[in-house]
Amino acid sequence: MKGIAILGATGSIGVSTLDVLSRYPEDYRVVALTANRDARRLFEQCVQFRPDYAVLIDEQAGKEFSAWLQDADLPTELLMGKENLDKVTALSNVDYVMAAIVGAAGLLPTLAAARASKRILLANKESLVMSGKLLLDEVHANSAELLPIDSEHNAIFQCMPTNFTEGLEQTGVTRILLTASGGPFRTTALEQLQHVTPEQACAHPNWDMGRKISVDSATMMNKGLEVIEACWLFNTTPDKVQVVLHPQSVVHSMVQYTDGSVLAQLGNPDMRTPIAHALAWPQRIHSGVEPLDIFDVARLDFEQPDMTRFRCLALAYEAMQQGGTAPTILNAANEVAVDSFLGNELSFINIAKVIDATLNAIEIRAADSLDVILDADRIAREKALQSIGTINA
């Protein structure tokens, strides 16, 4: 039986992971569940799965959870504070860590899981965006495993040759075709984007995601971060990663080979498929997802992205080309700008302007240590807030 720690258990990925795990109680045991502040959902999950530990970051949420825990017959111990994320990832009875915390907050516990030699099911793309080489070095040095959960990267992984880490050219791969739905504003008139509301931006046409990721999908920054993630995961450069708009979200990504072959992974848009794949790899298990009915789909459309409409995607390509701390700065500025947009303090089209201004305001350094990366993240957040103030003035 494999022990699992789920970082970000109350989010959409965490909920989907628990749904898959519930189908295999003889094969997997939930050892730890963590959340930021959703005490009620975390408690309900603990009642169902009876983990050894529950971690809450928010102090008030922890007080509420503690009161409920006292009245329940559970074996669960409550731990408070983000430092305990590292603790539960390193437990000896944890074999797999689902890294599903959104944003830069997921970096340190993901690094802790690598150092503890765990199988990391990586749904937190920001960890690789911020510290690609550093994280991969820890994975290799500690004989950990890193399996992608993003539907696109999981699809690429399934279509890649087994020796892809040697480099794409050495394995006959010429290009990665990274698909994207285009989000809710793929065909919206550009002049109308000025008036986009958070509710509109979070209404994704195909996927059920959290608010931050939904906004990233609408700006296509999510795809930009995935380009950077793909470069690190598959040992390639951004010029070998082509983003393809595919509004049906049925082809999750493709890999093109030198002999003219293109391999694709298809399926219904449901995160339980890549989760089940990574949990059981190299075997296959049932995920609970309905089989794809290709006759119901009927057609598959593909388009090139408009880099003027999706300025955030262009900025991500530029940051990866620059290298060093540029992706860290990009990610931090985006998190600040999206948070401001969700708080109705910044317009939708100004998200990209904040990111661009922040990248231009900070010196790019070699991302050769955790201290440098965290310092770049801190400075970028400060500069992004200043940029928001300037833009709104």
Could you give the domains of the chain?
2-148 (3.40.50.720), 152-269+291-318 (no CATH), 323-393 (1.10.1740.10)
The per-residue pLDDT for 190 is 84
Query: What stretches of 99-186 show up as alpha helix (H) in DSSP?
Result: 107-115, 125-141, 151-159
Percent of the chain residues past pLDDT 70, beyond the cut: 98
In the predicted model, what is the mean pLDDT of the chain?
94
Task: Return the bridge partners of 97, or none.
Answer: 5, 120
Percent of the chain residues past pLDDT 90, beyond the cut: 83
Name the phi and psi angles at 94, rounded to 5: -100, 120
What's the whole-number mean pLDDT along residues 272-300?
96
* pLDDT one-digit tens code per residue, 142-164: 999 999 999 999 999 999 998 88
Name the phi and psi angles at 256, rounded to 5: -100, 135
Q: Give the H/E segment covering residue 341.
A: helix 326-342
Distance CA 160, CA 264 (A): 10
* pLDDT one-digit tens code per residue, 50-61: 999 999 999 899
Where residue 205 falls among pLDDT bands split at 50, 70, 90?
Answer: low
Residue pair 26/51 in contact by the 8 Å Cβ criterion: no
What's the whole-number mean pLDDT along residues 275-288?
97
Tell me the two tokens of residue 349: 């089209």
Residue pair 319/329 in contact by the 8 Å Cβ criterion: yes
Q: Name the nearest CA neighbour of 153 among 184, 121, 183.
A: 121
Residue pair 202/211 in contact by the 8 Å Cβ criterion: yes
The residues, any chain, with a CB within 8 Å of residue 375's CB and separated by 6 or more, are none
**pTM as predicted:** 0.92
Residue pair 354/392 in contact by the 8 Å Cβ criterion: no
The per-residue pLDDT for 337 is 97
The per-residue pLDDT for 169 is 83
At residue 331, does pLDDT exceed 80?
yes
The residues, any chain, with a CB within 8 Å of residue 158's CB and separated by 6 or more, are 265, 277
At residue 88, does pLDDT exceed 80?
yes
